[in-house]
Amino acid sequence: MSNTFKINLLGSSFSFQTNEDPDYINRILSYLEQEINKSQSSFHIKEPLKISLLTCINLIDELFREQKSSEQDRTDAEALAQRLISSIDAALAEEE
């Protein structure tokens, strides 16, 4: 079922429709509003376009940092799994 959402940010408003869960979309919109407010207070800029762009840059930076952290976690997990396999193989070889 399609849900309609209305956005009012930085003096602009518009509506959009999505099939996503309303709670999920509301969490996204709330987070976006928080990030815009942080950008406004950090940079002391009033122009909506500049605030939007700075907020986008900050959000993309956050995304890239999370992706890098996730990749490192995956690499660490793979290395741990390989060490465990090697230990198990060694233990089984000693029993033979």
Residue 16 pLDDT > 90 = yes
- The pLDDT assigned to 44 comes to 87
Place of tokens 């509506």: 15
Range of the domain at 89: 3-95
Q: Which residue has the higher pLDDT, 20 or 89?
A: 20
Please, are residues 17 and 2 in contact by the beta-carbon 8 Å criterion? yes
Domain count, the chain: 1
pLDDT tens by residue, 45-60: 889 999 999 999 999 9
